[in-house]
Amino acid sequence: MHRYSSETDRLAQRVIDHAMRRIRMDPPPLDGPQSAEVLARVAGTTITEAGLGGDEALRLYTDVLTPATISTDHPRFLAFVPGAPTEASILADLLVGASSIYGGSWREGAGLVHAENETIRFLCDEAGLPDGAGGVFVSCGTAGNLSALVAARDRARRNRPDHRGRWTILASEEAHSSVEAAARVMDCDVVLVPTDDRRRMMGDAVSGVLAGLTPEVADGCFAVVATSGTTNLGVIDDLASLADVCERDDIWFHVDGAYGGAGLLAPSVRDRFDGIGRADSIIIDPHKWLFAPYDCCALLWKSPDDAVRAHTQHAGYLDTLEYGAMNPSDLAHHLSRRARGIPLWFSLATHGVGAYREAIEVTIDLANTAAEMIQASPVLEVVGEPSLSIVCFRRTGWSSTQYQEWSDRLLRRGLAFVTPSAVDGETVLRFCFINPLTTADDIELILSTLAD
């Protein structure tokens, strides 16, 4: 099973042929889920003592399993946050998979870690983080937020040795659910900060909340989590005034740019991120708007030493990994890792940053085009302001059941994947544009199904 044979060779050809066919498909099949019962029946028992053989496993993969999985890169997949990996990044993912590389330590993975670090440095420069900043690619934004907040509390524990009460994170009510999830894991509290009339968290509001807390609770406030591109509406908090408050009160300033951080590369919206370079930590998910395959989150540290202190694992069998260079495993809550930054690096190296700036601008334009089309329709209304590449809108007169039925119908027909969301308790529809291959015709086609 480990030796390369003529049989492996034949299977490799078939696997690579299939991968190439999938990459070439324009558009890829949208596909859609099946129940566990249906899949169990169609796939049958696949794990057997004797094995099915590679041909049969590949047939199951191509004919049974992937048709029951949605292609996130379909140009009319506009739900949640879609994926749209570049072809170069997909090819690099294949290379990394074929190379058995351990990306946790410099000693073992130096070459690829070097390229990952250059990619991290590029993102730090886009954000305006100082020399000496650094970071690591982790699996997802949820893991990135947790790792950042753990280091934040670790620093607070060192700086406030007399604090005996609970530890508290400040975040806006628009913050992503993973912030609450991190607080649960860490057994911390979250105090929600009200947003302004444009749904932005402002420094003044944080100051106001802090002033209203008892001294003991205020003393336990160790981090402010700002969002640079909320998941629902793409809103960017007022990072500069938040940085002021954090610097004044010695509070860790974390910026969650899992979705929107990629907007840093787009000249048309760059000024909305002013102040981000003063963050203690930032996350940006390349598997969202930087066109990399799953799973990939860039976790950036202003001062990587904070991360090393909080996250380095110590054991007799690990100490030999010291090589005089920072180990990726020391920069987050993880140890073994795929060199998952390589697909982004390969694609950036291939195409250059300019191509990324343009592709991101294309998706921002799509959101503006969609908003105009929605406003022009007698039965549709934009909800909130379109921001970055997200537009929320209502179909007048529809109940939440009608929205869901419409969404299910579109997916069943293989036409589009657009899901309802909620804004201020009202069910609405939401477009998130990530894929530069989406066209105005795609939007028109989807909107036309809302008219009747």
Query: What single-letter amino acid sits at 125?
Result: D
The C-alpha atoms of residue 343 and residue 447 are separated, in whole angstroms, by 34
Q: Which of 295, 446, 420, 421 is nearest to 366 (CA)?
A: 446
DSSP string, 146-204: HHHHHHHHHHHHHH-TT--S--EEEEETTS-HHHHHHHHHHT-EEEEEPP-TTS---HH
Nearer to ligand PLP, 148 or 450 (CB): 148
Binding mask 65-104 for ligand PLP (x = CB under 6 A): ----------------x-----------------------
The least distance separating ligand PLP from the CB of residue 147, rounded to whole angstroms, comes to 12
Residues 173-202, mask of contacts with ligand PLP (x by CB under 6 A): ---x-x------------------------
Q: Which residue has the tokens 């793409």?
A: 234
Three-state DSSP state, 136: strand
Q: What is the largest CA-CA distance in the chain?
A: 72
Closest separation between CB of residue 142 and ligand PLP, Å? 3
Q: Transcribe 204-238 into DSSP letters.
A: HHHHHHHHHS-HHHHHTEEEEEEEBS-TTT--B--
- Residue from 172, 227, 281, 435 in contact with ligand PLP (CB under 6 A): 227
> Which residue, 140 or 392, is less far from ligand PLP as judged by CB?
140
Of residues 223 and 450, the one with the C-beta less far from ligand PLP: 223
Number of residues that bind ligand PLP (CB under 6 A): 13
CA 230 – CA 432 distance, rounded (Å): 11
CB of 350 to ligand PLP, least distance (A): 24
Q: How many residues does the chain have?
A: 452
Q: How distant is the alpha carbon of residue 313 from its chain centre?
A: 26
On whether the CB atoms of residues 403 and 392 are closer than 8 A, the answer is no
* 255 secondary structure, DSSP code: E
- Name which of 128, 383, 368 is nearest 255 in CA terms: 128
CB closer to ligand PLP out of 177 and 320? 177
140 touching ligand PLP, by CB under 6 A: yes
Q: Which residue is nearest to ligand PLP (CB)?
A: 141
Residue closer to ligand PLP (CB basis): 152 or 326: 152
Q: Distances in Å between the alpha carbon of 106 and those of 29, 139, 340, 341?
A: 40, 19, 15, 14
Site string for ligand PLP, 277-306 (x = CB under 6 A): --------x-----------x---------
Interface residues for ligand PLP in 229-268 (CB under 6 A)?
231, 256, 258-259
For CA atoms 363, 366, 371, 372, the dihedral sign is: positive
Report the nearest approach of ligand PLP to the CB of residue 235 (Å): 10
Give the amino acid at 209.
V
Mark the segment that binds ligand PLP (CB under 6 A) among 140-148, 213-221, 356-364, 413-421: 140-148
Pick the piece of the chain touching ligand PLP (CB under 6 A) from 134-142, 162-170, 197-205, 237-245: 134-142
Closer to ligand PLP by CB, 96 or 258: give it. Answer: 258
Nearer to ligand PLP, 225 or 359 (CB): 225
For the chain, the distance separating the N- and C-terminal CA atoms, rounded to the nearest angstrom, is: 58
Phi, psi for residue 417 in degrees, rounded to 5: -125, 105
CB of 332 to ligand PLP, least distance (A): 13
Binder of ligand PLP out of 89, 117, 119, 142 (CB under 6 A)? 142
142 vs 389 by CB, closer to ligand PLP: 142
- Residue 70 or 210 having the CB closest to ligand PLP: 70
Q: Which parts of 69-170 fold into alpha helices (H)?
A: 87-98, 106-127, 141-159
Q: Select 119 or 142, whichever has its Cβ closest to ligand PLP.
A: 142
CB of 141 to ligand PLP, least distance (A): 2
Site for ligand PLP in 346-385 (CB under 6 A): none
Binding residues for ligand PLP, rule: CB under 6 A, are: 81, 140-142, 176, 178, 227, 231, 256, 258-259, 285, 297
